[in-house]
Structure 1
Amino acid sequence: MDGKTPDYDLEDRRVLTDAAQVRALGNPLRTTILGLLHERAASVTELSTAVDRPKSTVAHHVKVLTEAGLLRVVRTRRVRAIDEAFYGRTARMFHVSLDGHDGAAPDVGGQGRPLDFNDLEVAARESRPAYLEGQLWGFIRHARIDEQQKEEFWQRMAALVEEFDTLPRQGEVVHGFAIGVYPVAGYPQLPRPTD
């Protein structure tokens, strides 16, 4: 292995335009599998060990992700006369665009937004123990900006996420990194200055 993360080739970004792809992302176990594959390709056996779930369950979720075009077989190896597949992501980042707006969490087939699709909500749940132990580093800021500024800032955030995704994996502790930009209804604003 040459130290690159992950240890297989993949696209930098892929725009998801199909409701099945969004549904595939909406399952917590599948997003965990996708997260693990940022580090390196893995077999169903390795993934099931990592997530402490039965191989049949993990195999089902890997199949859903593969059929949605989010995973692919990146290599195989022969184990006791059986070819074992190693799966990898098809892209470092997935952007949802069912309604023409990248990054939006769309309604999927009239069933509402997928559960656990809100990364900031997931991060809030995950970060609680770190907060209680004094190990959470975080900021929240508010600014009145226009759509162009928001888009430009989002592109810079996406580059930072990509940088985090490609950090060499070392140490024993997994760290979360959450980032987002969103409109806030009802946030106080100063009146426009008068001349």
Structure 2
Amino acid sequence: MATILDSCPMGDDQVLSEPRQFKALGHALRHRMLVALRQRPATFAQLATALGAAKGTIGYHVKILERAGLVRVAYVRQVRGGTEQYYEPTSPRLRIAADAPVGGGFLVKAALTEMLPPDEAAPDVTILRHVRLTTAQAHALAASLEQFAGDLPDQPTGEPYGVLLSLYRADIPALPADPG
């Protein structure tokens, strides 16, 4: 089963399977850049301001994302005798291939690096629940989770939240039948 990063309609997925793609996304700054670029195309200078990093550092990391096929030049604008390149993600959503060298743990690590400390004014809920399902039930639940993630609104003026939905086979020991 594939794992999904970000939300958009089915069919617009970029399937991640190459080690260079995961290496590019495994760096916290590059992950944050890609998340920021989901808002709109941006220049090195705009990304540097938003991420609190040097423009040269941003340029280096954008080039790694570009070589990995995760971002591209959206358009070029002439400015005072020079040009500015605006970068955008190559697709609205990324999907981890079923046979990829990483799995859900990759996403959990990414989510953990972007989590802010709890805030009393903002909802913050993390739940881990184990259930026993048939294969058919697991497929139906996976489809429901994909539909739910795709239906979440994205308000440009809203506060940023992350939603990590995961259905995974768990290594839970089964107790033998109770003889009593």
- TM-score range (shorter-chain normalised) is 0.7 to 0.9
**Which digits, 9 at most, give the CA deviation of each residue in 1:98-141, with x for residues without a partner?**
xxx16x5x16xxxxx9xxx6322443465462267773133332
Structure 1 stretches of 4+ with a deviation exceeding 6 A read 131-134
TM-score, normalising length from structure 1?
0.71
Given the alignment of the two structures, is residue 90 of structure 1 paired with residue 84 of structure 2, yes or no? no
CA contact 1:33–1:47 (8 Å) conserved in 2: yes
**Deviations 1:133-181 (Å, cap 9, x if unpaired)?**
77313333222234554344334323433444x613113x322222212
CA distance in 2, matches of 1:54, 1:142: 44
- 1:93–1:162 CA contact under 8 A, matched in 2: no
Question: What is the CA distance between 1:60 and its match in structure 2?
Answer: 0.8
Of residues 124, 128, 138 in structure 2, which corresponds to 1:150? 138
2:157 equivalent to 1:170: yes
Counterpart of 1:160 in structure 2 is 148
Aligned residues of 1:30 and 1:62 also touching (Cα < 8 A): yes
RCO greater where, 1 or 2, for CA within 8 Å and sep 6 or more? Answer: 2
Corresponding residue to 1:180 among 127, 146, 166: 166
The within-5 A match list for 1:129-144 is 129-130=117-118, 135-144=123-132
What are the superposed Cα offsets for residues 19-39 of structure 1, whole Å, 9 maximum, x if unpaired?
211211111111111111111
* Identity across matched positions, percent: 28
CA RMSD of aligned residues (A): 3.0
Q: Counterpart of 1:185 in structure 2: which amino acid?
A: D
Paired residue secondary structure (1:91)? coil
What's the TM-score once normalised by structure 2's chain length?
A: 0.76
CA 53–189 in structure 1, closer or farther in 2 if over 3 Å, else same:
farther
Does the residue aligned with 1:129 lie in a helix, a strand or coil? Answer: coil
Indicate how the Cα distance of structure 1 residues 34 and 132 shifts in structure 2: closer, same or farther if over 3 A, else same.
same
Q: Are the equivalent residues in 1 in contact too, given 2:26–2:110 (CA < 8 A)?
A: no
Aligned length: 168
- Which letter maps to 1:168? Q
Is 1:39 aligned with 2:39? yes
Unaligned runs of 5+ in 1: 1-10, 108-112
